[in-house]
Amino acid sequence: MLNIVLFGPPGAGKGTQSQKIKEKYDLIHLSTGDLLRSEIGAKTELGLKAKKLMDQGILVPDEVVVGMIDNKLQEHKGANGFIFDGFPRTVQQAGALDNLLESHKDSISGMIALEVTKNELVQRLLKRGETSGREDDKSEEKISKRVEEYENKTKPVADYYKSQHKFTSVEGIGEIDEIFENICSAIDKLPR
């Protein structure tokens, strides 16, 4: 199986590139942000609780997202593999993901990290906020909070995969198709 963690700060282009990777390699795309937004849309109790944190740019508790990923892995037994987008976002989530995959006799093939400067991220997210309707894209203050959460809690996840020799970084600024080609070269070098 091919299990990829697509990593990078908010606005790095993970969602856009995930769609292309999913099609080319026939993988299941799991975005915890999308899963949480669909809980909000369905007005579930989980969604209502998560919305309060998400609107402020704060991470939701680890057990909430790990539980959602657990359900999806069960639902898609027999898939060619998964692309994890926006997950894991803490070292604890990364450990939980390893345990979940191990229980399916599986593992992460590699992490691919999109490198984008902070200035570019803020500009991209403010622009996206004009059309996305996302509360957390709407002000520079909320965007800064999300980048701060990334710096403090999520960046260490890269070291987690570096220590397992599963880390590759790819330039995240440029043409979408050019970035995609570089991601594909990295994916094609991963063990399966």
Structure tokens at 27: 């993988």
Nearer to ligand AMP, 7 or 87 (CB): 87
CA separation, residue 40 to residues 44, 46, 110, 192 (Å) = 6, 8, 31, 36
Q: Which stretch binds ligand AMP (CB under 6 A): 38-46, 87-95, 169-177, 179-187?
A: 87-95
State yes or no: residue 129 binds ligand AMP (CB under 6 A). Answer: no
Structure tokens at 94: 């990364």
Nearer to ligand AMP, 60 or 73 (CB): 60
- The answer to whether the beta carbons of residues 3 and 108 sit under 8 Å apart is yes
Cα separation, 154 vs 6, in Å, equals 13
Residue from 22, 124, 142, 146 binding ligand AMP (CB under 6 A): 146
Nearer to ligand AMP, 90 or 109 (CB): 90
Cα separation, 14 vs 5, in Å, equals 10
Least distance in Å: CB of 87 to ligand AMP?
4
State yes or no: residue 108 binds ligand AMP (CB under 6 A). Answer: no
